Structure 1
Amino acid sequence: MSATGPAASSVRPFEDPEYDRRLAAARHDMAARGLDALIVFAQESLYYLFGYDGGGYVFFQCAVLHAEDRPTTLLCRRPDVAQARDISRIDEVRVWLNAEGANPARDLLAILKDEGLEGSRVGIETDSYSLTGFNCRAVYEAAEGVVDLVEASGIVRGLRVVKSPAELNLMRRAAELADAAVTAIARTARPGVLDSTLTAAAMTAMLEGGGDMPPAGPLVNSGSRAVYGRGVGGARGLSDSDLVMVELAGTYRRYNACIERCVVVGAVSDAQASMHALVRDTLEEMLEAFRPGEPLGRIDEIHRARLDAAGYADVRYAACGYSLGATYRPSWMDVPPMIYAGNPLELRPGMVFFPHVMLGDTRTGLAMGLGETVVVTDGAPEVLSGLLRDLVLA
């Protein structure tokens, strides 16, 4: 039931050879771990391997990928069948039906049996928003004594960390959308305007630019809320002298590029200017450290050293960023990996991260933040935003 022909390939973001390469790499890693098959639950994995784009992951949805070159079977609900058929490269689709006492884990077990996997060693992706604790327990209970389930969340996730040239092109487009969103916020911000209006301006700029709805946010926190590290419900009107913390993702074909800036309404105080200079200088040193062969943890060591020396040890974060890629709700954070001190992951060309320096000083009520999407290359890192790192004046 997989999609074929020019119409189908135009829906998917990549050509067939890209997916062929990904499947071959996944099967190679599966074989190296002694796995006969992999139960793919993460929607990000389904998108990466097969171009399958949908929202059924919020219920119970998975695919059985064999280590050998055999057809792949998707188990989903009826509303997801047409997208799986028309868009993805998945071979077969089975449906589980909503009913009192329905247990799709038993439907999954039937697929494993039908495909000759009884007694086999089967990997499973459990580290995903797509598999709730309730459903995970049901899968393990159904599989007991039938197959040997092995944790294998890192197989596809590990492949996704390094982006292909085609993926990087999509992320560059996403970064242009993120820049447009920040620019729209700056043009809209003025005393009396609701901060929700700024969010609307950002979303309009991205969607009118051909982007997707981002998988989270945007974070647009003003006034006393600027010290928060998460968004908060309820609109607030901007005052005559205000700071708006902006963190958002531009999203294109599900690929995310993030940016963080501070928009100031009114005059910039000396304290704000000093705080911004520290944050900017810290981020710029961090960006220069994204060199191939370096450990990822080195970035946070710079972050900690600079902020701790300036007296912010008690308010800085314990991590300063994360990997980016194609993700689905509820987060644009494509983790792991996270950027934290001691992370031994070796930086490689094609990796994409969002390092940021975000200070919400609850002692003074002052906040400041800057963040960039950066690509690791063979040499100097590539920063995807074209905007300056100055305070954005409304």
Structure 2
Amino acid sequence: MALHFERSEYEHRMTRLTERMREEKLDALLLFAQESMHWLTGYDTFGYCIFQTLVVTVDGKMTLLTRSADLRQARQTSIIDEIQIWIDRVNADPTVDLKNLLADLNLLGSRIGVEYDTHGMTGRTARLVDAQLSTFGHLVDASYIVSRLRLIKSPAEIAYVERAAALADDALDAAMPLIKPGTNESAILNAMQGAIFAGGGDYPANEFAVGSGPDALLCRYKSGRRTLEPNDQLTLQWAGVFAHYHAAMVRTAVIGDVSYRHRELYAACLEAIQAVETVLRPGHNFGDVFDAHARIMDERGLARHRLNACGYSLGARFSPTWMEHQMFYAGNSEEIVPGMSVFVHMIIMDSEAETAMTLGQTYLTADADPRPLSRHSLDFLAV
């Protein structure tokens, strides 16, 4: 069995979860988010958009209902003892198997929480679950119970986040010598991802964004590669990943002549991230972080060039995104407490001037000042 943590760590997580279930008066919880299953049991797989669920009862018992392809995967990577298989076949409805399983667990008429808001729950699956179970018990949207428990990292998790952050730094170190005219973006992407693999890291939960020229204004991955020119701009958004834990970074490098607009936008990014650091601490919430960012941007006349969020919580995530549910946007009342790993990003995309500037890194929240996890400075990148 290949576990990333001691069994005592998983036992502590189960205790936290069942306590929360009692507070919510839940008799059982149906986990559909792969990261929830991974956090609670170590279960590590892909293909979770095809039906599977982990049934957790309030007394701490677990049963995984999945496909035959994941039977050995669950045995090898998790602490789950009870695994049931639904059969792939024409017109299969695994929610029938789920209802039978819940009946065997004496949950008829009980209050059952369901993780609806996850890429492990397709719209079709949600409709099938509701159709089968709406008269079986009382279904409750419990999408964020485990998600919120995962916000605060244990010491063992923090060690993995720090390893991921070191790999993110290694990736930037590998990229820097290649950021020059004549280099194709594919070489930079290869060097960055290769550095993470060479350091024992994992695939990221979403693709790295590597874009130059006009594509430097994109903060998402797209297919296609371009060769850097003598006067150019390059935006990189990537994450170091270790045991699925992510530490993200974002930077825009300027090749050749540095325009006044690039300098101006960089100054705004730096001032905004410094303002964020003053509120990224207990006594404030996620909305306060966004407000600190927006105030600087808007005072500098950049409201139409900034984004409507400036970061999010990170953790052990699975495709298609390394972003957690909790984001830095207006009005988010989620409190900042010690032990959170969060990605703070300043992203300015001036389409009129075709000028991009970004600046961001992962922090660990503490009792006072947040701790940046990168060994790199926030200096302007000009090559």
State if a TM-score over 0.5 links the two structures: yes
Q: Which amino acid in the other structure matches residue 358 of structure 2?
A: G
SS of equivalent to 1:249: strand
Q: 2:137 aligns with which of 129, 139, 147?
A: 147
Aligned pairs for 1:1-394 within 5 A: 8=1, 11-70=2-61, 72-335=62-325, 337-394=326-383
Residues 56 and 77 of structure 1 are in contact (CA less than 8 Å); yes or no, is this contact kept in structure 2? no
CA distance in structure 2 between the partners assigned to 1:107 and 1:196 by the alignment: 46
Q: CA deviation at 1:341?
A: 2.3
Residues 219 and 237 of structure 2 are in contact (CA less than 8 Å); yes or no, is this contact kept in structure 1? no
TM-score normalised per structure 1: 0.95
Moved more, 166-175 or 184-193: 184-193
Ranges in structure 2 where 5+ consecutive residues have no aligned partner:
none
Q: CA deviation at 1:284?
A: 1.7
CA distance in structure 2 between the partners assigned to 1:77 and 1:148 by the alignment: 26
Per-residue Cα deviation, 1:316-345 (whole angstroms, up to 9, x for no partner): 11111111111000001011x110122222
Q: CA deviation at 1:232?
A: 1.6
Name the count of aligned residue pairs.
Answer: 383
Ranges in structure 1 where 5+ consecutive residues have no aligned partner:
1-7
Per-residue Cα deviation, 1:143-197 (whole angstroms, up to 9, x for no partner): 1311221111121111001111111110011001111111211111222222122
Q: Which amino acid in the other structure matches residue 139 of structure 1?
A: V
Q: Which amino acid in the other structure matches residue 240 of structure 2?
A: G
Q: Which amino acid in the other structure matches residue 235 of structure 2?
A: M
Residues 287 and 329 of structure 2 are in contact (CA less than 8 Å); yes or no, is this contact kept in structure 1? yes
SS of equivalent to 1:372: strand
Q: CA deviation at 1:69?
A: 3.5
Percent of aligned positions that are identical: 38
Classify 1:69/1:215 alpha carbon distance in 2 versus 1 (closer, same or farther; 3 Å): closer
RMSD: 1.2
Moved more, 147-156 or 41-50: 147-156
CA distance in structure 1 between the partners assigned to 2:154 and 2:352 by the alignment: 44
CA distance in structure 1 between the partners assigned to 2:138 and 2:279 by the alignment: 43
CA distance in structure 2 between the partners assigned to 1:272 and 1:119 by the alignment: 62
CA distance in structure 2 between the partners assigned to 1:69 and 1:389 by the alignment: 45
Residues 14 and 60 of structure 2 are in contact (CA less than 8 Å); yes or no, is this contact kept in structure 1? no
SS of equivalent to 1:101: coil
Which residue pairs with 1:5 in the alignment?
none
CA distance in structure 1 between the partners assigned to 2:4 and 2:186 by the alignment: 32
CA distance in structure 1 between the partners assigned to 2:178 and 2:330 by the alignment: 38
Residues 251 and 257 of structure 1 are in contact (CA less than 8 Å); yes or no, is this contact kept in structure 2? yes
Q: CA deviation at 1:229?
A: 2.5
Per-residue Cα deviation, 1:83-126 (whole angstroms, up to 9, x for no partner): 21122111211111211111111111111111111111111100
Residues 242 and 265 of structure 1 are in contact (CA less than 8 Å); yes or no, is this contact kept in structure 2? yes
SS of equivalent to 1:300: helix
TM-score normalised per structure 2: 0.97
Stretches of 4+ aligned residues off by more than 6 angstroms: none
Q: CA deviation at 1:262?
A: 1.5
Q: Which amino acid in the other structure matches residue 125 of structure 1?
A: E
CA distance in structure 2 between the partners assigned to 1:315 and 1:91 by the alignment: 52
Per-residue Cα deviation, 1:25-46 (whole angstroms, up to 9, x for no partner): 1111111111110011110110
CA distance in structure 1 between the partners assigned to 2:368 and 2:272 by the alignment: 20
CA distance in structure 1 between the partners assigned to 2:224 and 2:58 by the alignment: 49
CA distance in structure 2 between the partners assigned to 1:333 and 1:296 by the alignment: 14
Residues 26 and 111 of structure 2 are in contact (CA less than 8 Å); yes or no, is this contact kept in structure 1? yes
Q: Which amino acid in the other structure matches residue 80 of structure 1?
A: D
Residues 218 and 249 of structure 1 are in contact (CA less than 8 Å); yes or no, is this contact kept in structure 2? yes
Q: CA deviation at 1:15?
A: 0.6
